[in-house]
Structure 1
């Protein structure tokens, strides 16, 4: 059986998928299989996957990247899973370099190796000078602030992915942030400090830019985890304080833009927690489509 299962979700990105698959074909690590999960594309994306020799799984369009990736893992046969978004690229040594890290850290209880990305927008490199955070070991205190693990950089044990229940399938955005929180709460991670992934943005539609406010989705992802006390004791306080910080920041932004009712809802949430309540009303009503609210 293949050791690494590469899962590529796609929706109407045939030309970008062609390039992503070509970057997988060029991998120097050869013990792999490629699974393209087509989320109801209408532009021939599935046919591109088949032409490139990938195993293609077709599904009705859902627009939920977590669900699409989960379907891919359900069809995986490898002990390890790697994710690649259809608009990203891998350098030829990506998997080989990560496997070397994996083998070098064997026995340390590390289920995931991620790697450095090069960010590109419309063909130009985007500086990451301000991206300062811990990247390996216990990274939870940094992961709770923002998504510090790029899906296209990940190589991880399929067993652990399945034990954690995979990605949340009801979140349109920040499903990766939510999953990495649950994983880094329980496990240390390893990091390959080499730029082996190209994360691209361009003229094509991206879910992260649909609403213009990613942070509210992170609040939607984090709040249920805080309310349900899912985190280990050493991480609970950090998670709770970060949730309050995110709500306060969002409230200040809403107030600055004249959205006073919205600001009040987020501040009321903060006040409820400060009073010692274990749960507070969800403050995001009306900010996203009803179908996006968990």
Structure 2
């Protein structure tokens, strides 16, 4: 049984999939299986995947496209390793990624899931997300601050909690899962670059942005319901201003509405104790002050 199971769903990634697979095969950590699930690609991805003969690769080639949620859940079912690692078919992992992540998880048995920093063509410096559990849990109310293709999680947590991606949140299934897990296990982000995240026009965030935004809004509303709140359309617009660091101090009516909204959230959180109060206050203050993490 391998120590780690890497789940890599692929759909029409012919231009990048060989490099993605190669980046995992040359890892300095060797004890893993790579589960590559081609989800009915029509661009020759399956043929490229089939060229690899490394015995660590488990190839699952579907004739019909079932969707990424189905592919991810299939990967969770097939994984036999102590750890489950995520990877996408259009990204590139650093050679020491598995070494770093497995070492961290071995040394921190209370952490159920962790992720790392990444670079992209849009970022000269690595994108570093909040590191501690309470920070992550709080910022997840605003942003998806766990980079999905850098995730590692314990397989026993997957089995114990019955973890599956939820198809009711299309194109934000990872954001939904992280918000759910934040209340079930400890999360962490390492400030170490582990991945080159490729930005291109075929990505979900480009092709299905409206659906993704709606799914994310519904995830946030579920979290607000923990605070005893159901946001109106106007309150959702204010929340989006927080999310996009778009609060203008020169717009006095808008600014004071935002401050009032922040005080309202803090009052509700003081009652329901969903988030660490200091962390929530910090996150709201940074959004108002245009200070991204």
**TM-score (ref. length: structure 2):** 0.72
Equivalenced residue count is 237
Residues 228-281 of structure 1 show CA distances to partners (whole Å, capped at 9, x for unaligned) of xxxxxxxx22x95889887234888xxxxxxxxxxxxxxxxx9xxx9xxxxxxx
- Distance in 1 (alpha carbons) for counterparts of 2:216 and 2:48: 33
Secondary structure of 1:201's aligned partner: coil
Q: Mark the runs of 5 or more structure 1 residues left unpaired by the alignment.
A: 228-235, 253-269, 275-294
- Pair 1:187-2:185 in alignment: yes
Paired residues of 2:46 and 2:61 also in contact (CA < 8 A): yes
Paired residues of 2:169 and 2:176 also in contact (CA < 8 A): no
Does the C-alpha gap of structure 1 residues 251 and 3 become closer, same or farther in structure 2, counting only changes over 3 Å?
A: closer
Does the C-alpha gap of structure 1 residues 243 and 190 become closer, same or farther in structure 2, counting only changes over 3 Å?
A: farther
Which of 84, 98, 109 is residue 95 of structure 1 equivalent to? 98
CA shift, 1:202, in A, is 2.1
Which of 70, 74, 77 is residue 71 of structure 1 equivalent to? 74
| 2:152 alignment partner in structure 1 | 155
Does the C-alpha gap of structure 1 residues 222 and 83 become closer, same or farther in structure 2, counting only changes over 3 Å?
A: same
- Distance in 2 (alpha carbons) for counterparts of 1:45 and 1:5: 21
Q: Mark the runs of 5 or more structure 2 residues left unpaired by the alignment.
A: 242-260, 266-293
- Distance in 1 (alpha carbons) for counterparts of 2:197 and 2:95: 15
Which of 133, 137, 140 is residue 133 of structure 2 equivalent to? 137
Secondary structure of 2:167's aligned partner: coil
CA RMSD of aligned residues (A): 2.9
Residues 200-247 of structure 1 show CA distances to partners (whole Å, capped at 9, x for unaligned) of 1124x11111244443220133435655xxxxxxxx22x958898872
| 1:81 alignment partner in structure 2 | 84
Matches within 5 A, 1:40-55: 40-52=40-52, 53=54, 54-55=57-58
Does the C-alpha gap of structure 1 residues 243 and 199 become closer, same or farther in structure 2, counting only changes over 3 Å?
A: farther
CA shift, 1:62, in A, is 2.7
Paired residues of 2:39 and 2:71 also in contact (CA < 8 A): yes
Which of 247, 253, 275 is residue 236 of structure 2 equivalent to? 247
| 2:245 alignment partner in structure 1 | none
Paired residues of 1:9 and 1:68 also in contact (CA < 8 A): yes
- Pair 1:61-2:87 in alignment: no
User: Which range moves more in the overlay, 217-226 or 40-49?
Assistant: 217-226
- Distance in 1 (alpha carbons) for counterparts of 2:231 and 2:76: 31
- Distance in 1 (alpha carbons) for counterparts of 2:215 and 2:92: 26
- Distance in 1 (alpha carbons) for counterparts of 2:91 and 2:97: 13
- Distance in 2 (alpha carbons) for counterparts of 1:56 and 1:243: 47
- Distance in 2 (alpha carbons) for counterparts of 1:158 and 1:193: 23
